[in-house]
Amino acid sequence: MNNNVLILGSGGREHAMVWKLSRESKVKNIFCIPGNAGTSQIATNKSLSLTDYDKLLEFVNKNNINLIIVGPENLLDDGIVDFFNSHNKKIFGPSKAASRLESSKIYARDIMKKYNIPHPNYFSCITRNEVQKAKEFLGFPIVLKADGLAAGKGVIICNNENEYNKALDVFFENQSFGTASDKISVEECIQGPEISIFVSCNGSQYKILNNAQDHKRAFNQDKGPNTGGMGAYAPTPLYNSKLESKIKSKIIEPTLNAMISEGHPYCGFLYFGLMLVNGDPYVIEYNVRMGDPETQVVMPMMDCSLYDLLNATLEKKLDTFNYKNKSGFCVTVVLAANGYPLKYETGNIINGLDKLKNDLVFHAGTALSDKKFIVSGGRVLNTIGYGSDLKTAINKAYKVINNVDFKNMFFRTDIGKKGLDY
C-alpha cells in the first residue's frame, strides 16, 4: 500500500526502525532526517534542520508522509509532537508536557511519589548545602542525578566521601551538565539487576513490546565510564509472567493513569528503566522514546507490523492489536570509535560492510564519503545475532564482527553474559 513514513534521528535505533518498516508491505517510501549511511541504503535521507519546523512541515506535505516517528528525546522535549499535531499530521511520540517524564528527573520522581510507583528515596536539591543534607540522611552509596537531559551521562554514583566531593565539583564547579544540573536529584542507591521494558501506549491503552538488558559502561564487567549503551539483548531470562504482572500493576498502569490525572495523557513509546530489588521492580528512570541500542534487538524480535502497531496506538485500537514476538533471543554488540564516550576519532574508513551477506548490521555513527563508509560518530555500528537460545545469539552477534573493521574499533566482549549467568 502507499504509505510514506518519516523517521527523525540518525542512530542505530532509527536504522533498526527503518529496516523493520522496509520489510512491511503497507509501507511504500521511507524518509529519514538526517539518517545515516545505513538508512541511506534502504530509505531516502534528507538533510534538514530538525529545529526548523516549517521546513519539516513543507517536506512532510510535499512527500505525502502519513506517519512521522520521532527517535530522540531532545526533539520530543522541544515540542515537535505538539507542532505536528497542531497541523493535523500523524506523529508518534509524547507531547512536550508528557516528555518531562524524561526531561526532568525530578518531575518524574515527584510523579512516582505522588502516585505510589515504587522508586528509590530521593531529594530535590538546588544548593550544595541541600545536597549535603540529603547525603547525611541517605549515607553512602548515593546517586547524584542532573535533573535535565544530559545524554545519559548525568548520573554519578558515589561510594565514599572522596567520590562524593569529586561529584560535587562536576555538578557545581565544572558545570559539566550546564543548565541540566540546575536541580539535582539526590537518591538512595538501590541494588539489583536492571531490566528495560518497552511499551507502546496511548492514554490507558498499552502493549508491552519486549524487555531487554542494556550494558551502559564502556568496558567489560561494567567498568569504565557510562555510555549511551554498548550492547543489549532481548528478552532477559529474568522476565517471567509473575514479574510481568507486578510491572503492569505497580508500574506501567499507575504511570499511565498518573499522566491522565495530571492532564498529560501519554502517547508514544515509553521505556521503563527498572531495577529488581529482591524480585520487586523499582523505577530507575523513564525514557520517552525507544532505547538505543535496545531498539536494535526489539525490532528483529518483533513478529508483527511496526507500522500497524503505531497506527493502532495512535487510533487507540491497541485492545484488539495482536502484538507478537518471535521466540528466541536477539543480541546486539556496539562497535565504537576509539575514545568514546569522550573525544573519539572520526573519518576512518569502515571495511567489509559491502561484503556482508546474511549478516545484519545496523549503522549508527556512519557517513558516506567518496562511496566509502566512514566513521562519523562514537557508536559506529551494531552487529546483530539471533538464535533460539541466548548463547547462540551472542555467538552470532560476535561472529559478524569478524567481517567488519575500522581503525581503532573497540567493543565489549561480554555482551549478554549476565543473561547466561541468571
CB of 313 to ligand AMP, least distance (A): 24
The percent of the chain in helix, strand and coil, each rounded to the nearest 5, is 35, 30, 35
* DSSP symbols for 62-121: HTT-SEEEE-SHHHHHHTHHHHHHHTT--EES--TTTTHHHH-HHHHHHHHHHTT-----
Nearest alpha-carbon partner for 383 in 371, 369, 372, 399: 399
* From 29-37, 62-70, 291-299, 373-381, span contacting ligand GLY (CB under 6 A): 291-299
> Looking at 147, 187, 292, 294, which residue binds ligand AMP (CB under 6 A)?
187
Q: For ligand AMP, which is the closer residue by CB, 73 or 187? A: 187
Residue reference for cell 541494588? 191
Residues 124-153 that bind ligand GLY (CB under 6 A): 152
Q: For ligand GLY, which is the closer residue by CB, 14 or 294? A: 294
Q: Rounded to whole angstroms, how far apart are CA atoms 174 and 278?
A: 37
| 319 burial type by CB count under 10 A (0-12 exposed, 13-18 middle, 19+ buried) | exposed
Q: For ligand AMP, which is the closer residue by CB, 101 or 397? A: 101
| 391 burial type by CB count under 10 A (0-12 exposed, 13-18 middle, 19+ buried) | middle
Alpha-carbon distances of 264 from 100, 111, 173, 310, 316, rounded to whole Å: 10, 12, 36, 19, 16
Task: Extract long-range pairs of 161-169: CB within 8 Å, 24+ residues apart.
Answer: 164/135, 164/140, 168/128, 168/131, 168/144
List all residues 6 or more positions away from 152 whose beta carbon is below 8 Å from its beta carbon: 216, 226, 227, 228, 229
Work out whether 359 is an interface residue with ligand GLY (CB under 6 A).
no
Which of ligand GLY, ligand AMP, none sits in contact with 143, Cβ below 5 to 8 A by type?
A: ligand AMP
Q: Rounded to whole angstroms, how far apart are CA atoms 119 and 107?
A: 13
List all residues 6 or more positions away from 209 whose beta carbon is below 8 Å from its beta carbon: 198, 199, 200, 298, 302, 309, 323, 325
Q: For ligand AMP, which is the closer residue by CB, 153 or 391? A: 153
Work out whether 285 is an interface residue with ligand AMP (CB under 6 A).
yes
CB of 1 to ligand AMP, least distance (A): 39
Q: Rounded to whole angstroms, how far apart are CA atoms 163 and 187?
A: 15
Site string for ligand AMP, 131-160 (x = CB under 6 A): ------------x--------x--x-----
Work out whether 3 is an interface residue with ligand GLY (CB under 6 A).
no
Site string for ligand AMP, 313-352 (x = CB under 6 A): ----------------------------------------
Which of ligand GLY, ligand AMP, none sits in contact with 254, Cβ below 5 to 8 A by type?
A: none
Work out whether 77 is an interface residue with ligand GLY (CB under 6 A).
no
Angle between helices 161-168 and 128-138 (to 10 degrees): 160
Work out whether 287 is an interface residue with ligand GLY (CB under 6 A).
yes
Q: For ligand GLY, which is the closer residue by CB, 15 or 89? A: 15
Work out whether 218 is an interface residue with ligand AMP (CB under 6 A).
no
Work out whether 120 is an interface residue with ligand AMP (CB under 6 A).
yes
Which of ligand GLY, ligand AMP, none sits in contact with 292, Cβ below 5 to 8 A by type?
A: ligand GLY
Work out whether 281 is an interface residue with ligand AMP (CB under 6 A).
no
Work out whether 229 is an interface residue with ligand GLY (CB under 6 A).
yes
Work out whether 228 is an interface residue with ligand GLY (CB under 6 A).
yes
Work out whether 108 is an interface residue with ligand AMP (CB under 6 A).
no
Binding site for ligand AMP (CB under 6 A): 120, 143, 152, 155, 187, 189-190, 194, 216, 273, 284-285
